[in-house]
Amino acid sequence: VTAAEEFTEFAAAAAPRLRRTAFLLCGDWHSAEDLTQTALAKVFVAWRRINQPEAAHAYATRTLVHSYLAARRLRRSGEILAGELPERPAEPHQAEDRIVLLTALAKLPTKARAVVVLRYWNDLSVDQVAATLGCSPGNVKSQSARALDKLRTLLAEPDDSAEPRPGEARRHG
Amino acid sequence: MDEERLREMLRNATNEEPPIGSIALNALRAGIRLRRKRRIQSASTCAAAVLAIGIAVPAVIGHGHRLAGARHRHGQTVYVVGTTRTGKAVTPIAVPANQAGRPIRIADIPQAAVLSPNGKTLYVEIYQPRAALLPISTRTGKPGRPIIVGGKQPGLPWPLTDAITPNGKMIYLLNETRQFVTPVNLVTGKSGRQIRVGPNPQGLAVDPNGRTAYVLVANAGVVLPINLKTNKPEKAIHVGKYPTNIVITPDGKTAYVSRGREVVPIDTATNKAERPITVGQVQGSVSELAITPDGRTVLAFFGENAGARGQSTTLTPISTSTNRAGRTIVLSNEEHGVAFAPDSRTAYISLARSVVPLRIAADRLGKPIKIPGGLGDFGGSLVITANGKILYVLAADTAGGRHSGLVYPVRTATGTVGRPIRVGGEPSGLVIAP
C-alpha cells in the first residue's frame, strides 16, 4: 500500500467527523468542507511522521482547530460580521434547535467556541482540549465555564415550563 | 442548560448534513501542493547560500534552482528522493549515462533532501524511528550516522523547513508547530538551544554571508532576523500579515518576501522593508518566489484562489535593480517546479503536462516540451546539469497513475525528450550533485 493510498483511506474515514466538527466551529457546511480539506492537506504533509492511526486522528483534529483559529484571526477573510445569522431556507427537522444553537455559538469568542465543540461534541477531556489548543487545563476550565454560562443565557427559552422544547415536541407529537 | 442537553443539541445540529464531496482526494492533491511548496522553499534557501560564496557546485536541490559559478564535470549524479521500486531508498542516476544505479537503502521514506554547499554530503530528512537528518556521502553513496533532530518525542509531527549555512557547518530547522528554530551542528551532530520565533512561522532563509537567518512569522506579520553568531533574534521587520515565501539575492543585499499579492523587498543592511511591489490579479496570492542565479530577476508565481487549493496561473518577473514588476505572463496550468539555466537566460517551468522554457530577458515563453503521460501529482521536480545541456524531469503519479516513478532527460538545446529512466514507487523530488 502506498502512502497516498494509505492517506486517502484515512482521509475518507476521518473526513465526515472532521467536517461536522468544522461545521460546529464555523457554522456553515461550505466553510466546513474547506476547513476539513485544509486540515487534511496538512495531515498529508506530516503523514510519514505520524506513527499510529490514533495519532493521525488527534493530529487532524488539532490541525482543524488551529486552522479555524488562524482563519478567524485573519481579518481580511471577507466575512461580513452581523448580529444575527442570515436567514436560511426552512428545514423540516430540528431546524429551530440548530439555528438557535448556531446563533448562540456564533456569539461566543472564537476560542471559547472551540473549547465547547471539543469538550461537548468531540468528548475530549479537559487535558486533551488543553493539549489540542496549546493552553493550560485551568484556562480550558474557565473558558468552558464562561461559555456554558453564556450559552445558558443565550439558549434560555422565554417560557421554559409552558412550551416543550422544539425537539421534544416533534419527538412526541 | 446542562451539559447533556448541550451535547444533544450539538449532535442534532450536525444531523442533517449535505452529502460529502471528494474531500479525501482533494485533500491529497492539496497536501501534495503544500509539500511541494515547502520543498521548493527549502531548496531556494540553500541555493542562495551557495551562490553567495561562489563555490563551484553544480547542484540543484529539490525542485531546484541552478547554482551560479558551476562548471561542467562529467560524473554528476541525480538522486531520486522518495520511495522507489525497491522501497525506502534514494536512487542515484549517473549523468550523462542516464542509468539508475543501485538504490541506497535507508530506514524510512525520505521526505526531502538538502545538499551540502561543497556537494559532498546529501542530508536526507527521515522521521522513523526518530526525526533525523541522514548524511549520505555523494562520493561513496554510503549513509552515515543519523543526526537526531526530533527532540524527545519520536514520531510526532515535525513539519520543518531547513536552511544550511554557506560553510556547511550548521543547519537551521524551523518547526512550524512548536514555533521555534533549532540550530543543528552538522559536524558534531548536536542540536543547539532552541530559539523561539512566534506564532505560525512559515519559512526560513539563511543569508548568503551566513550571518543572519530570516524567519517569516506569519501571524505576527514580521520577518524576524536571527543573528547566527549569537543565535538571538534581532528587531523584527514588519511586512504585514501572512508572509509566505522568501528569497535572498546572491550578494545578500536584498531579501524578497511575498505576502498576499505583494512582494516586499527588504534591505538587509538596514533591515527595513521597502515599498511593496504588487503582482497578480485581484484575488489570490503569491504561491512561490524564485531568483535567477545571477540575482537580477525574481520570478513571482501567482495563484488564483491560493491557499490549500492554490493554482499558480501567472508569473511576474521583478527586476532586482529597479524593484519593478515586468509583464505578467499567463501559464496554462499550475506551476510544479522551476530550474534556471546556468547563464540565467532561461527558466524551465514544469506544468501539469509539460515543461515550458521562459526567456527571461524577453519575458516570453518558448515552445512547451511535452512530457509523455504528464508529470502527475507527485512529479514536476526539475534539475539541470552544470553545463545546462540536460534537464531531468520527474514524472510521478499518485496511485493508479500510468507513469509512476519515471525520470525524463530532456536536451535543452532541442527540447528532445529522451528515454525515461524507471525508478518506480512514489519519488517526490530530484537532487543533482557533482
pLDDT in tens, A20-33: 999 999 888 888 99
Instruction: Give the residue from B7, B8, B9, B130 with the most A CB atoms within 10 Å of its CB, the best one to mutate.
Output: B9
Please tell me which of the candidates A33, A46, A155 has its beta carbon nearest to residue B159: A46
Q: Are B117 and B168 in contact (CB under 8 A)?
A: yes
Q: Which residues of B touch A75 (CB under 8 A)?
A: 241
The closest CB to that of A45, out of B31, B128, B378, belongs to B31
Where is average pLDDT lowest: B162-176, B205-219, B288-302, B348-362? B162-176
**pLDDT value of residue B57:** 33
Looking at the complex, does the CB of residue A96 fall below 8 Å from at least one CB of chain B? no
CB spacing of A120 vs B24 below 8 angstroms: no
Q: Which of B191, B266, B194, B166 is nearest to B225 (CA)?
A: B266
Provide the percentage of residues in chain B whose pLDDT is more than 70: 83
Give the mean pLDDT of B181-186.
Answer: 90
Q: How do residues A2-22 score in pLDDT, each as one tens digit?
A: 777 888 889 999 999 999 999
Residue B34: which H helix or E strand, with range? helix B23-53
CB contacts, 8 Å: A8 with chain B: 24-25, 28, 399
Range 149-188 of B in CB contact (< 8 A) with A:
155-159
The model's confidence at residue B160, banded by pLDDT at 50, 70 and 90, is low
**Distances from the Cα of B65 to the Cα of A55, A78, B82, B196, B247, angstroms:** 36, 36, 19, 29, 11
Q: Is B22 on the interface with A (CB under 8 A)?
A: no
Is residue B232 predicted with pLDDT exceeding 50?
Answer: yes
- Taking CB atoms and an 8 Å cutoff, what residues of chain A touch B10? 24, 101, 117, 120-121
Residue of chain A whose Cα is closest to the Cα of B3 = A120
pLDDT tens column, B356-388: 999 999 989 999 999 988 888 778 889 999 999
Rounded CA-CA distance A133/A137 in Å is 10
pLDDT for B48: 47
pLDDT higher than threshold 60 for residue A74? no
- Condensed to tens digits (0 to 9), the pLDDT of residues B89-114 reads 899 999 989 999 999 988 887 877 88
Residue B77: its pLDDT value, please?
A: 93
CB contact under 8 A, A40 and B307: no
Return the pLDDT at B157. 40
**What confidence category does residue B71 fall into, taking pLDDT thresholds of 50, 70 and 90?**
very low
pLDDT attached to residue B142: 92
CB–CB of B103/B91 below 8 Å? yes
Alpha carbon distance B244, B59 (integer Å): 25
Q: How far apart are alpha carbons B155 and B130 in whole angstroms?
A: 6
Q: Which of B176, B170, B242 is nearest to B212 (CA)?
A: B170
A145 has a chain B CB within 8 A of its CB: no
Q: Nearest-CA distance from B113 to chain A in Å?
A: 15
Query: B285: closest CA among B267, B264, B266, B265?
Result: B264
- pLDDT at position A94: 55
- B305: contact with A, CB 8 A cutoff: no
For an interface test with B, the pick among A49, A65, A170 (most B C-beta atoms closer than 10 Å) comes out as A49
- Listed by number, the residues of chain B in 235-254 with a beta carbon closer than 8 Å to a beta carbon of chain A are 241-242
Q: Say whether residue A94 is in contact with chain B using an 8 A CB cutoff.
A: yes
Q: Flag whether pLDDT at B423 surpasses 60.
A: yes
Average pLDDT over residues A105-133: 90
Q: Rounded distance, CA B82 to CA A37, Å?
A: 24
- Predicted local distance difference test score (pLDDT) of residue B399: 57
pLDDT one-digit tens code per residue, A25-61: 988 888 899 899 989 998 888 887 776 667 888 889 9
CB contact under 8 A, A43 and B31: yes
Contact criterion met (CB < 8 Å) for A19 and B23: yes
User: Stretch A126-150: mean pLDDT, rounded?
Assistant: 88
DSSP B232-276: EE-PPEE--S-EEEEEE-TTSSEEEEEETTEEEEEETTTTEE---
Mean pLDDT of all residues in A136-147 = 90
Averaged pLDDT for residues B260-281: 92
H helix runs in chain A, sequence order: 3-26, 29-45, 53-73, 95-106, 110-116, 126-133, 137-155, 166-172
Q: Cβ(B315)–Cβ(B301) under 8 Å?
A: yes
- Whether the pLDDT of residue B69 is over 60: the answer is no
pLDDT band for position A1 (cuts 50, 70, 90): low
Residue, of A103 and B56, whose pLDDT is higher: A103
Categorize the per-residue pLDDT at B194 as very low, low, confident or very high, splitting at 50, 70 and 90. confident
Which one of A3, A34, A97 has the shortest CB-CB distance to B12?
A97
Residues in A closer than 8 angstroms to B429, CB to CB, are none
Provide the pLDDT for residue B15.
Answer: 80
pLDDT at A172 over 50: no
What is the model's pTM?
Answer: 0.78
Query: Residue B377: its pLDDT value, please?
Result: 77
pLDDT at A83: 55
Whether pLDDT at B341 is above 90: yes
The yes-or-no verdict on residue A77 having pLDDT over 60 is: no
* Between B403 and A3, residue with greater pLDDT: A3
Helix axes A137-155, B3-13, angle to 10 degrees: 80
Q: Are B219 and A73 in contact (CB under 8 A)?
A: yes
Instruction: Mention every residue, 6+ apart, whose C-beta is less than 8 A from residue B35.
Output: A44, A45, B428
Nearest C-alpha neighbor of A45 from the set B33, B219, B288: B33
What is the average pLDDT across B127-145? 87
Q: Looking at CA atoms only, how far is residue B242 from chain A in angstroms?
A: 9
Q: Does residue B270 surpass a pLDDT of 90?
A: yes
B361 touches A at CB < 8 Å: no
Asked if the C-beta of A58 comes within 8 angstroms of chain B's C-beta atoms, the answer is: no
Bridge partners for B410 per DSSP: B391, B417
- The minimal CB distance from B3 to the residues A45, A97, A120 is found for A120
Average pLDDT over all residues of chain A? 78
User: What confidence score (pLDDT) does residue B400 get?
Assistant: 59
